[in-house]
Amino acid sequence: MALKRIKIFTNLEKVNEEQDPRFEVEQKLTIASNGAVSFVSSTYGGGYNQYAKGRRLELKIEPETAKEILDRVEAYFSEQITYNIVAGFGFWNLTVTDDKRAMHDYYGSTTGVYHELTKFIQDRIPINHLSVFDQ
């Protein structure tokens, strides 16, 4: 299966202990095989369920770089369990779309288990403070 797109939703509300209204509590990152990258975030704003709009970025990376990221994500999750939530941490939801337009979802906590994959993506996408699978 070759991936065409990944969407990563990260929620870090549980790690915002001081309830800083400027804290970026949600991030949504989409990476397409053609190199299109979309990023949208929300800040804690007025509190739980009262988030404020954060950053919105659209950028382009080289298609070869996008392929590296998609291939690495596919390799990591091809043999992973679908659901890996640990209480007391933020969480992420990964949706992958393959070349047959089939979608597959994975869920996990921002415990650092996928730190290596997070770092790999952060090193290839020029967006500051990108959480991905970590907090």
Mean pLDDT throughout 59-87? 87
Mean pLDDT of the chain: 90
Mean pLDDT throughout 61-83? 89
Give 3-state DSSP helix, strand, coil % of the chain, rounded to 5.
20, 40, 40
Tell which residue, 101, 111, 104, 105, has the closest CA to residue 132. Answer: 111
Q: C-alpha angle with apex 5: 11 to 98, nearest 5 degrees?
A: 120
Using alpha carbons only, how large is the chain's radius of gyration in Å? 15
Instruction: Supply the pLDDT for residue 109.
Output: 87
Instruction: Supply the pLDDT for residue 58.
Output: 98
Q: Which amino acid is at 126?
A: P
Q: Binning pLDDT at 50, 70 and 90, where does residue 89 land?
A: confident
SS3 97: strand
Q: For residue 84, what are its two tokens?
A: 């890996």
Q: Which residue has the higher pLDDT, 47 or 129?
A: 129
- Sorted by where each starts, the structural domains of the chain and their CATH numbers stand as 3-122 (3.30.1560)
Residues of the chain with pLDDT > 90: what percent? Answer: 61
